[in-house]
Amino acid sequence: MGPMKRPTRDDVARLAGVSTATVSYVVKGGPKPVAPATRRRVLDAIAALGYEPNAIARSLRERRTRAFGLVIPGMAGVFFAEMADLIEAASFADGYILIIANARFDKATEMTYARILVERQVDGAIFYASEPGLAAPRYVLDHGIPVVLVDREMKGSRVGLVVVDGFAGGSLVAEHLVALGHRAFGCIGGHLSVEPGPCGSSRRIDGFVATLRRAGIDVPQRFIRSGDYSLRSGYDVTRDLFRRMPRPTALFCCNDLMALGALRALKEMRIRVPDDVAVVGFDNIPIAEYVDPPLTTVDQPRDQIARLAVDLLGELVADPELADSRTVTVLPTLVVRDSSVHAIPS
């Protein structure tokens, strides 16, 4: 009995009921788009047959590695871990493997990973909330590798941008709380001095404060505090903020983890939410819906952000000249839950 014949692209096409060209588009991630249902049939046929395209030969022929890099600032928080998972899934669906690098909020570590991605000759790289100086993505760009930035902006470079409008998110929070009758506000931001990104906490606070001012309300600087996006910082800052009088009747935390820490601190201080103080977060992480009370928060559409970033990077790999004009803006939405539903008595 001779050796078992390896499945071919023709075999996959017959099982999936598509052309061999469609199989090629799925395996290569282009150049033509494939409908999601058709892509799924092809991927199922590949799995059923155990089809293995000759990736090494194809990479040499096309001078491509079919790999993307993703550099995120940290994996400890829920938000970035979930974004890494979603970007990996979107990349895989387009026929790319994803190399995920955790910069641990350290500029030198981010640059080290940038050098590794260049050495690995990735086809493109996504930098999510890169350090403010943007040295690492610039290094990758300088080596001819297309880059997409999420939650950062870069002037004068061929780079794709996916921008979440943090100013608009902060404004949504202010409008909601003013409509409930609140006039005394507290705010907990992140690393305020090092976050110039369009969705960084400084922009969220800018939108929040500007909208309050349009309503004739000023927030004293002593009520705008810095945290570090952790549960503990939300807890500690809230205890300090609310042990003095007068107290805010509404608290905006620039991410959900700090808001969850705030809820714990307020409960320990016997300050009722939302009866005594309304609390609003930002990000809409999954647990926000299940805490007591469920947390009102600004939703960043994570599936959409991941899909846009990968799609844009794929376009730049095919045509790097597109980067000069490729900026995609994503608008957040407010998800109202029980932590901010009571109007202030008149």
Instruction: Kindly give the pairing relationship between strand 333-335 and strand 327-330.
Output: unpaired
The answer to whether residues 225 and 266 belong to one domain is: yes
User: What is the tens place of the pLDDT at every residue in 228-249?
Assistant: 888 999 999 999 999 988 999 9
Q: How far apart are CA 53 and CA 47, in angstroms?
A: 12
The answer to whether residues 253 and 176 belong to one domain is: yes
Residue 112: domain span? 66-164+301-332
Report how many domains make up the chain: 2
Q: Is residue 84 part of a domain?
A: yes
CA distance to 16, 34, 262, per residue, from 339 (Å): 50, 43, 11
The answer to whether residues 187 and 223 belong to one domain is: yes
The answer to whether residues 255 and 269 belong to one domain is: yes
Residue 145 contacts residue 171 (beta carbons within 8 Å) = no
Q: How far apart are CA 240 and CA 147, in angstroms?
A: 42
User: What is the tens place of the pLDDT at every residue in 178-221?
Assistant: 999 999 999 999 865 445 556 678 899 999 999 999 999 999 98
Question: Average pLDDT for residues 303-332, to the nearest whole number?
Answer: 85
The answer to whether residues 312 and 265 belong to one domain is: no
Question: What is the CATH number for 251?
Answer: 3.40.50.2300
pLDDT at 95 over 90: no
- For residue 186, give the H/E element and its range: strand 185-189
Residues comprising the chain, all counted: 346
Tokens of 130: 């890169």
Instruction: Measure CA 83 to chain center.
Output: 5
Q: What is the mean pLDDT of the chain?
A: 87
Tokens 């996006």 locate to 229
